[in-house]
A = this chain, B = another copy of it.
Amino acid sequence: MECPLYEKIANQIEQQVHEGIFLPGAKIPSVRKSSKQMNVSVATVLQAYSLLEDRGVIKARPQKGYFVQEHKLLHAEALKITPTVNEVSTHTMLRRLLHVSQDDNIIQFGAAIPNSQFLPIRQLQRSVGRLMRLEPEICAAYEFTPGSPNLRRQIAIRMLDSGCQLQPDDITITLGCQNAIMLSLQAVAQAGDTIAIESPTYHGVLQAIEVLKLKAIEIPCSADAGMDLDLLEKAAKKWPIKACVVTPNNQNPVGATLSYQARQRIIGLSLAFGFTLIEDDVYGELSYRDKRERALKADDKHNTVIYCSSFSKSIAPGFRIGWIVGGRFQDKIEHYAYVQSLAIPTLTQTAIANFLENGAYDRHLRKTRLTYQDNLARCQSLIAEHFPKGTQTSNPNGGFLLWVTLPKTVDAMALHAQALDNDIGILPGLAFSLTGQFHHHFRLNYALNWDNKTDAALKTLGQLCQIGK
């Protein structure tokens, strides 16, 4: 006997989910739309959707529609990840993280993405709206590499605050800071070359190094002093280091900011040993101090620093606007950026330039930084209260990332899996190194809409640590 029509439709949709036409977490067409598309009654579609809900394939969210389920799948796969690091497992974990990062039901301590309440959405909305009304040809026009002259001018003006005196032509617009770091590494090094990095460090740097077939030397980086420069010097004596990727301000994940002495010393080392410094300053504008910290680039008298940053942490992650000040590699970087894609979208470049130009950015930053400080304090006190004895946290004075060191008895990968089971995302320490370190660490993003749910989630995390012991 043939199965009823609604079951056929349900089977068909389940098939599409398996084929990835509808990804986990994705919204599927509304009942009315499906009814039209398939030319069947609304009642039949409702029956089909209800069957799919029973099967655990989709899930209704009130007033929002139907979405493909994802938790079970994610959890099952997360458990499979072994606690040794290799390209695949880290890669899988990170992809999974990004995936989960778009699920509204998960408390997003994992990815370093600020909640949209911390972004000037309304101003951008106005800026883009105005552009579309007044200059719709912007859809057609290319802004070829190095990018919008006005945007580069605005960036040059902003960078005065970090102590850098630049001309617009010193700057190339990139597709976010990750792209800036990739272009820097491509300009400076070739396959087989050795790069010194902080350990732990931002996972995007690790992935760039893997993809470009470079070798990494991981230099320990502590929450209070940053990269260990004695060890960097030792490493430079021993190996032919081509470049060193360093985050002088509010390092990701440990939150360190380099002292004046450390800045002078690392520049000295780069000159003495002839390596290039690739400065990642993406959290530089989120300092909690009265004035933002200087860029390393500002003290770069001998042109040995490449500066990378973006607006993804403070204005619009989805716009993907970053930039690079390439110094003596500028020509090479600009040419490579041009060949990579000819141009970055005109619309997003222009919208950010207009936002910077109208002067609302500093007000926005001041407000945001205050909330981050409040969230940080709340986070730290909740961890002190609910986490096992011996848990330590970093004490960043900028950005929105906390580095948590658990007692040796707690495994962060197991915690990660259990947390996901409780709709809580964290990023385990393993993601921040290529050498299988940081088993008892995780990173926590506190740029969230902080409420009772967030409090409860931190409490739950603490309880999970106790169980895991």
- A-to-B contact residues, CB < 8 Å: 19-23, 26, 91, 95, 98-99, 101-102, 113-114, 116, 119, 121-122, 124-125, 128-129, 132-133, 136-144, 149, 153, 167-169, 174-176, 178-179, 182, 190-191, 204, 207-208, 210-211, 316-320, 335-336, 338-348
Contact = CB atoms under 8 A, between A and B. Distances in A.
Contact of A168 (B20, B113, B139, B210): B20
Most buried by B among A91, A98, A168, A347: A347
Oligomer: number of copies:
2
Nearest to A182: B340
Given A176-B343, A318-B347, 20 more contacts: A19-B167, A26-B149, A91-B335, A95-B338, A114-B140, A116-B141, A121-B136, A121-B137, A121-B140, A128-B139, A140-B317, A141-B318, A143-B318, A175-B340, A178-B339, A211-B339, A319-B347, A320-B341, A320-B344, A345-B345
A238 B418 CA distance: 58
Given A132-B125, A176-B342, A142 B98 contact: yes
30 contacts: A98-B144, A114-B140, A116-B140, A116-B141, A121-B137, A121-B140, A124-B136, A124-B139, A125-B133, A128-B128, A128-B139, A129-B132, A129-B133, A139-B319, A141-B317, A142-B317, A174-B341, A178-B340, A178-B342, A182-B341, A211-B335, A318-B343, A319-B345, A319-B347, A320-B341, A320-B342, A345-B345, A345-B348, A347-B347, A347-B348
A129 B17 CA distance: 31
A343 B320 contact: yes
Nearest to A20: B169
Contacts of A204: 339, 342
A194 to B, nearest CB: 17
A182 B339 contact: yes
A320 B336 contact: no
- Interface of chain A, helix or strand or loop or mixed? helix
A316 B138 CA distance: 9
A364 to B, nearest CB: 13
Nearest to A213: B190
A128 B347 contact: yes
Given A98-B144, A137-B121, A179-B341, A318 B335 contact: no
A336 B191 contact: no
Contact of A191 (B95, B191, B343): B191
Which 4 A/B pairs are nearest by Cβ-Cβ distance? Answer: A318-B346, A175-B341, A20-B169, A125-B136
B142 A116 contact: no
Contacts of A21: 153, 167-169
A326 to B, nearest CB: 15
A325 to B, nearest CB: 14
A125 B139 contact: yes
